[in-house]
Structure 1
Amino acid sequence: MAKYERIPGGEKNDLTGQPFNKKELEKICELYIEIDGKGIHENNPKIHILANELNRTVRSVENQLLGFRAYVTNKSGRKNYNSLIPEIWEEKNSEIKISPEKNRIIKERELFDEFKFRISSQLKTILGKNLITDDFVAVFELVKNSFDAHAKKVKIIFDQDKITIWDDGKGMNRRDIIDKWLFIAYSAKNEGIEDVEFEEDKNKSYRDRINPNRSYAGQKGIGRMGSDRLGSTLEMTTKKINDSIYWNLKFDWDEYENDALDEFGDIEIKYSNANSTKFKNFENGLILEISNLRNVWPRKKILDLKKSLAKLINPFTLQNEFSIEFISQRELKKDLESANSIDIVNGEVKNFVFEALNIATTQIKVSIMEDEDFIETTLIDRGNLIYKIKEPNKYKHIPSKSNILLFYLNTHAKSSFTKTMGITSAEFGSIFLFNNGFRVLPFGEPNNDPFNINERKAQGYARFLGTRELIGQVSISENTEQFQETSSRDGGLLNSPGTEELRDFFIESLKKLESFVAPILWKISKRVGDNQETLDLTAKNQVLDFVKNIAGKKNIQLIEYSDELINYITENVEEQNLPQFDTLREIAIRANDKKGLLIIDNQESDYKKEIKRRKEAEKKAIDEENRRKEAEKKAIDEENKRKEAENSLKEKESQNLFLKSVKSQELDEIVSFMHSIGISADILNNYISGLHKRINRREKIPNEVIGNKLRQMSLENRKILAISQFATKANFKLYAEEVEGDILEFIHEYLKNIVIPIRSEDIEIISNNLNSNQNSFICTFKPIEITIIIDNLVSNSIRAKSTRMTVDYEITKENLNVNFRDDGIGIPEESVKNIFDLGFTTTSGSGLGLFHVNSIIESSENMNITVNNKIKKGVELILTFKK
């Protein structure tokens, strides 16, 4: 409960330090007498009101009250009180006398005692402040009474020293007030006659609003005493639906505390009636104005109440038929300054709805079916149905349509909950209990564990779930005698055979959730904590076996199962997955799913055809690879012969790989090119064909699978582009295997004869000292890989809006460094570490180019690449070769 906040160093105002005068102390003495010397603390609203009236601080008024108590009781030890206090007290005390009427009543009771129960006025305190010990619980009780009165809406209005609870329920007439509201501990709801007049009169226009056959939130007849917990004064205004008379009653609860000898029924209640009321737009219902509040209601306390009320009503049964609105004029300004909706006082209480969180996790719902003979269980994992089953109901006391809803909170679910609700799931609570639509306290409170699931978890930590991993609700559909709340209103349910069954019902439901979570979800291969988590093949097979085992249990009827089970088999076409079709077929038979059986048979047939096609494609690819290798061997032999012939001419210049024109190419070279292109094109076709078939089958293809296929297709496409450039611009052998040669000369000739002619309109390329005949660097390399690297570096520079690229080299003792420097937009320092990552780009590109470059370099033992972004403009990429 929110407290009055003390100011460090003490609260001060203009009168601080000035002694209290006699007039001020007389008012303080009157307050002391009014509260009978009790409740002297800074959280008492009466002290706040008087302090405001005297323009004194709350603490200073409290000190003067303590001075009066010190003098009157002579027990507190306080000696230094205002010297006027004794004088004022004696004057006021002399005025307090027993009235002649009260003296007469006392004497009559002494003379005419009878053998029957009599009720002291102190009963009000026992049933009010002493029984309902919490302000929030008092408000809950009054709101529940409004619901029982068939209200559609309740308004809770906060003023300086008043709380108003206004509902639009059926209201009361004179007979209702006398026979029901003023009959303490009598409950017409419990007697079954609360709405009897509406059952009898079927012609009333309000018959659609009133449902007299439903259960009620409260049935003890004491919730109305919650107003005494909140304040000492109550003014009640009510008008029954379709009546014309407004009734007004005023209660001063402190009058019931003056003398324990006063009888409860002898204390007069002021009342009046009229054909109109001061309240606008009040047609029927009940308005309770509670004033002289017993505690202060600062903003934080009001917000805490609003959050608590959000958890009062079962969102699945009452959210569309009952609403609560908060109104506070004094908090409007701070509401406008608040950026977070959960920190706004004014407005409707938003009922907490589990499903509204859109938690990507596992949930289970277990319900007693309407016919009471069966229990239905539905298990859902991240939006996908796993199974729905029906089994015999063994519980005799739990009403039909009662249910249990549980959510397993993984890392992502906890994060999502905190983002949506503004607090962690642990701070919010775990397992809530709703009885006939209204929450039963203390179920759901943080650290509350009524079903002892944490003690159970301690006995099997790896197998069981605790309150920190669960959030959910237990809903009892009817307020039966088996599920009665304690009179204290925050003590839960009275023990009964029904509550014992409820504990067993909960644990059995929890076991069903754990049987899926523990062996399967905890084997997630990619533990990222969000809805992108993927199950590995072992876990997917376990899901199939799990559903099969559930369906095979005695007395369990499988009603429905996951459409995703077929995808678990077909996501990765592997021959060893074929037996799983038999498992899935057995599940479909258990569910009497004839349509599903047909789909399974068709999918299995397609699956086998795909396996056969892949084997044939693999054989064809192997044959093509063998032919390509033979052609390459022949091409290498021819190239060696050509080199020997050229060496015999003793040419001074190094062998120029690009001197011959395309017209002089030999037929076997062309055949070699076409073989290589054909292999890559066939691989591309296989990838595209496979994806196309899966799309036609309306499969859900994981993003990871699609991304992997696209990367492989992109690399094959790069090979085709590089081969086509060689075939049209040069006459040299395309080496798929490593060759040994002068890498400096190769890079120079490739830039001069291929890249510069093609890219001259996009970028100026200056190869500086690459064409020098003074140096060479002999190493092993794959020509096609070097061309792919150069093409990607040039393409990236063009996308980075470069106009010029400079290529030069530096030879060290063991290494060759080839520097590619451009004048483009460069690379930010924070992005340097990511430029080789798949999909990462700082330009309009796809993020594949540098990924391919890095893939080639990482697969080589004598190549490396580094980034220098410290130059004045652009970026420099340094390609290093080792001997």
Structure 2
Amino acid sequence: MATQNNLHFDVSTGLKRVLGRELITDDEVAIFELVKNSFDAGADCVHLYFGDDSIVIADNGAGMSYEDLTDKWLFVAYSSKRSSRSPDDFRNLAADRRNYAGSKGIGRFSSDRLGEEVILQSRPKGTPEKVHRLTVDWELFEKDAKERFENVPVHYAEQNGFQLPSELNKFESELKHGTVVSIQRLRRPWPRQRILDLKASLAKLINPFGEQTDGFGIHITAPDEVGEDRRLFTSHAKTEEEPLSKDIVNGQIGNFIFTTLQDKTTFIRVTISGDELYTTLTDRGEVIYKIAEPNPYSHLADADFKCEIYYLNLSAKTTFARRVGLPSVQFGSVFLFRNNFRVFPIGEDGDDWFGFNRRKQQGYARFLGSREVIGRVDVSGSDEDFQEASSRNQGLIETPAVEQLHKAVMEHCLKRLEKYVVPVSWVDKPDANTDDLSRLMTDPGRARVTAAVANLVDNDKVRLIDYSKSLVDLINERSGDFETSLVSLRAIAEKTADVKMIERLDVAERRFDDLKKSEADARRVADKALAVAEAANLRASTAEAEVETERRRAHFLETFVTVDSATILNLHHQVTIYAVDIAQQIENFLIETADQTLISRDTVLKTLEQMAFLNRKVMSVTKFAAKATFKLDSEKIETDLAAFIYDYIEQIARTTGSARLQISVENNHPGIKLRFNPIDASIIVDNIISNARKAKSSSIKFVLTREDKSGLTIHVSDNGRGLASGTNRSRIFEMGYTTTQGSGLGLYHVRQALGEMGGSIEVDENATKGLAFVIKIGAPGKKQ
């Protein structure tokens, strides 16, 4: 029997190359590793210096003692981060710095990727020790592949203080403890563009989503680039603008601040705390809903899971590009942060670690992909749950916790955001260019929001904590979405046990039923009378052929014609219906307030608003009756909306308006066929003209154009007094809001009528005189 002996591994100097350049295959990742070491050491400041043939990474972290250097830093693959922490460390706040960004003990070899020699200076915190200095010449490990690893010498010395480049003198004077890593004899040069690319990556490394940087600042100093930085500042000073941060090398790396985006787009925030999962969805500054439900992800219960994803519509993408200086798709998508440090390359352009793009290919018009969202996912935990691949550029190794992380982001973050964006925003194409809630403040818009919230809470496990009272509320009874909205509101009210809301819904439902019944009765009477009269007219008519000679085909006749009996009957038919509606509104109001000695202004205003709108319809009917070439009834017509509005302004608004107000219109639109109520179109035009007249305008102009691939844009401008001082521009379309002696209903009616047509209105901030509006009406059946 052979003699049995214990053998052991021998390690050659080739290990250095395996753990260095062959494992860390990217220069940026190599610097990331060194910056991570500073973060893990508790530093709140790290300086990156780029010299002619050197890179310096200096921090004010905890530093290392002589024993730390010999027993830990020089101990290959040993990690004090992994061995020194307790099982409870990962349940503590990241600010305590007990969760570490790295824990493999190989980050020190990343310097081999960058240069041939590394000099390390370190002094521990809280001791009077001198600065310890190690010098490692990586080239010595390359001479003989059979040489034992531990036989290659590493030079050690002590010095009185830190030695930094002169450009870092201020930081050096304040540096009582910390670590300085100087990499000499660089393997590749670092020209301006490489440093700028690194800066862009570092801006995403810590926290690109808030003003705070987790108490960790990164500064870049590159003396050779100071001149070009100054030139950029000088050239931009002429335009009174500062250059974009991405174009400047020297200075602190600024993290992209999402505060601006939060007010201009839709975003969702999901957090997990023990057994509960919380979700908040915000749309352009308005909290749409907050919900809580049982946490289905056991491995994430103590992982401090947080996810924040922003939907980028066209307006938000434009804002992003202007602020950051590059398109959002080049910036990246949804980044993953483990223990407050980014896991590379998750979120990079082209990376699909979360599977958003694979899913979008299955339903392009129904799903969100990485090009439409940007955000951040945070987890804290040990390597057992969340371990980065050793190559440092392959994300996380699959574990049960990582599997649940994937599912949580997809099911409770992306899909939740999607279930709001697709039915609420995508069905309204112009909303993609809108950075406020103007298009959702219409009745159809509010109905869509209400339906989205109702669908979400239609689950026994979901608890509705809060929701938007301005968007999720009763809409106007005249809206075509009123009945469906009632169903959604009732589901929400019952879910939240909102007794007052349920009472309001009961009242609104009864009032709506009464209106429908009275209108149906009026329509039957009017239709019967019209039929009898038309039959009589037909019998009395002669066989004389009517020859029509028109200069051009238009929606309205060029001049008034004799009002024949058919037109009179048509006018009577419509006025009867609207008059009965007004009478019913009055009756409802009297019944509802019969026992009240004091009536709230809100109650009175809502009733008067309904009657005022119906009265507007009566006034419009009288204008239409004598000049419209189509049969006027309460149904919609289908025609070219742009041409219709042009004809209405030319043939009716101008001829029936005041001589003191000159009304002009230009139609540069090629045509947009829509089905709409002509009365709504007339109310829009008439109310805007009425407001201009009240503002003492002598002229008002309408310009109809197509500014994008579809839809209609109307620019309206007058030369009147404009908005009164102190006017809240965001409220001028609210019911009853006025700064004059007016009713405060005109612009409200305009917005409501536009809402029924799929349109919106906003103040044109570029107007230099008077008041100007921009009206946008989307083409039907279009999605983003």
Q: If the length of structure 2 is used for normalisation, what is the TM-score?
A: 0.62
Cα deviation, residue 162, structure 1 = 1.0
Of residues 145, 149, 152 in structure 1, which corresponds to 2:41? 149
* Mapped partners of 1:263, 1:783: distance in 2: 98
* Mapped partners of 2:391, 2:208: distance in 1: 25
1:515 aligns with 2:419: yes
2:194 maps to 301
Of residues 241, 248, 273 in structure 1, which corresponds to 2:125? 241
Cα deviation, residue 615, structure 1 = 12
* Mapped partners of 2:226, 2:601: distance in 1: 55
1:182 maps to 74
- SS in structure 1 at match of 2:23: coil
- SS in structure 2 at match of 1:259: coil
Of residues 473, 490, 494 in structure 2, which corresponds to 1:589? 494
1:232 aligns with 2:116: yes
1:217 aligns with 2:101: yes
Q: Greater RCO between the two (CA within 8 Å, min separation 6)? A: 2
Of residues 201, 206, 209 in structure 2, which corresponds to 1:313? 206
Cα deviation, residue 271, structure 1 = 1.7
Contact 1:570-1:607 within 8 A present in 2 as well: no
Paired residues for 1:532-611 under 5 Å: 532=436, 534-535=439-440, 537-538=443-444, 540-567=446-473, 569-570=474-475, 577=482, 580-581=485-486, 583-592=488-497, 596-598=498-500, 601=503
Cα deviation, residue 794, structure 1 = 12
Contact 2:339-2:380 within 8 A present in 1 as well: yes
Count, aligned residues: 557
1:166 aligns with 2:53: no
- SS in structure 1 at match of 2:281: strand
Contact 2:268-2:279 within 8 A present in 1 as well: yes
Task: Specify whether residues 698 and 341 from structure 1 end up closer, same or farther in structure 2 by C-alpha distance, changes over 3 A only.
Answer: farther
Q: Which amino acid aligns with 2:661?
A: N
Q: Which amino acid aligns with 2:222?
A: S
Contact 1:432-1:474 within 8 A present in 2 as well: yes
* Mapped partners of 1:166, 1:471: distance in 2: 32
* Mapped partners of 1:273, 1:194: distance in 2: 33
Q: Deviations over 1:601-645 (max 9, x none)?
A: 35875897899999999x9xxxxxxxxxxxxxxxxxxxxxxxxxx
2:283 maps to 381
- SS in structure 2 at match of 1:229: helix
Of residues 249, 257, 261 in structure 2, which corresponds to 1:357? 261
* Mapped partners of 2:254, 2:15: distance in 1: 37
- SS in structure 1 at match of 2:298: coil
The unaligned stretches of length 5 or more in structure 2 are 164-171, 233-242, 522-578, 590-598, 628-649, 665-697, 707-712, 724-784
2:685 maps to none
1:328 aligns with 2:231: no
Cα deviation, residue 785, structure 1 = 7.1
Contact 1:565-1:584 within 8 A present in 2 as well: no
* Mapped partners of 2:223, 2:423: distance in 1: 55
2:408 maps to 505
Q: Which amino acid aligns with 2:317?
A: K
- SS in structure 2 at match of 1:276: coil
Cα deviation, residue 842, structure 1 = 6.0
Paired residues for 1:675-690 under 5 Å: none
* Mapped partners of 2:79, 2:408: distance in 1: 31
* Mapped partners of 2:704, 2:208: distance in 1: 50
Task: Specify whether residues 135 and 549 from structure 1 end up closer, same or farther in structure 2 by C-alpha distance, changes over 3 A only.
Answer: same
Cα deviation, residue 360, structure 1 = 2.5
Q: Deviations over 1:106-146 (max 9, x none)?
A: xxxxxxx9932222122111111111111100110000000
Cα deviation, residue 428, structure 1 = 1.4
Task: Specify whether residues 523 and 158 from structure 1 end up closer, same or farther in structure 2 by C-alpha distance, changes over 3 A only.
Answer: same
Task: Specify whether residues 526 and 697 from structure 1 end up closer, same or farther in structure 2 by C-alpha distance, changes over 3 A only.
Answer: farther
Q: Deviations over 1:550-593 (max 9, x none)?
A: 223132222222223444x235655983674564244133234x
* Mapped partners of 2:605, 2:227: distance in 1: 54
- SS in structure 1 at match of 2:205: coil
2:346 maps to 443
Task: Specify whether residues 239 and 831 from structure 1 end up closer, same or farther in structure 2 by C-alpha distance, changes over 3 A only.
Answer: same
Task: Specify whether residues 699 and 341 from structure 1 end up closer, same or farther in structure 2 by C-alpha distance, changes over 3 A only.
Answer: farther
Cα deviation, residue 453, structure 1 = 2.4
Contact 2:702-2:715 within 8 A present in 1 as well: no
2:303 maps to 400
2:84 maps to 192
Task: Specify whether residues 838 and 342 from structure 1 end up closer, same or farther in structure 2 by C-alpha distance, changes over 3 A only.
Answer: closer
Report which of the two structures shows the higher radius of gyration computed on alpha carbons.
Answer: 1
Paired residues for 1:83-122 under 5 Å: 115-122=7-14
Task: Specify whether residues 189 and 209 from structure 1 end up closer, same or farther in structure 2 by C-alpha distance, changes over 3 A only.
Answer: closer
Cα deviation, residue 209, structure 1 = 12
Contact 1:379-1:513 within 8 A present in 2 as well: yes
Q: Which amino acid aligns with 2:134?
A: L
Contact 2:262-2:284 within 8 A present in 1 as well: no
Cα deviation, residue 169, structure 1 = 0.3
* Mapped partners of 1:792, 1:546: distance in 2: 45
Q: Deviations over 1:515-568 (max 9, x none)?
A: 22223322227446213552464554343233223223132222222223444x
Q: Which amino acid aligns with 1:384?
A: E
Contact 1:388-1:560 within 8 A present in 2 as well: yes
1:258 aligns with 2:143: yes
- Give me the CA root mean square deviation: 4.8
Contact 2:226-2:250 within 8 A present in 1 as well: yes
Task: Specify whether residues 186 and 577 from structure 1 end up closer, same or farther in structure 2 by C-alpha distance, changes over 3 A only.
Answer: same
1:529 maps to 433
Paired residues for 1:55-70 under 5 Å: none
Of residues 289, 293, 313 in structure 2, which corresponds to 1:391? 293
* Mapped partners of 2:116, 2:652: distance in 1: 94
Contact 1:585-1:597 within 8 A present in 2 as well: no
* Mapped partners of 1:421, 1:606: distance in 2: 48
Cα deviation, residue 219, structure 1 = 0.3
1:289 maps to 182
1:124 aligns with 2:16: yes
Q: Deviations over 1:669-706 (max 9, x none)?
A: xxxxxxxxxx9xx99xx9xx9xxx99958999xxxxx9
- SS in structure 1 at match of 2:246: helix
Of residues 766, 780, 791 in structure 1, which corresponds to 2:660? 791
Contact 2:425-2:431 within 8 A present in 1 as well: no
* Mapped partners of 1:164, 1:698: distance in 2: 73
Contact 2:114-2:188 within 8 A present in 1 as well: yes
Contact 2:204-2:342 within 8 A present in 1 as well: yes
* Mapped partners of 2:7, 2:331: distance in 1: 53
Identity, % of aligned positions: 37
Q: If the length of structure 1 is used for normalisation, what is the TM-score?
A: 0.55
2:364 maps to 461
Contact 2:63-2:177 within 8 A present in 1 as well: yes
2:391 maps to 488
1:343 aligns with 2:212: no
Task: Specify whether residues 350 and 277 from structure 1 end up closer, same or farther in structure 2 by C-alpha distance, changes over 3 A only.
Answer: closer
1:864 maps to none
Contact 1:403-1:474 within 8 A present in 2 as well: yes
2:771 maps to none
Of residues 706, 714, 717 in structure 2, which corresponds to 1:840? 717
1:658 maps to none
Paired residues for 1:47-86 under 5 Å: none
The unaligned stretches of length 5 or more in structure 1 are 1-112, 199-207, 620-678, 701-705, 720-734, 740-780, 796-825, 847-883
Cα deviation, residue 249, structure 1 = 1.4
Cα deviation, residue 845, structure 1 = 7.5
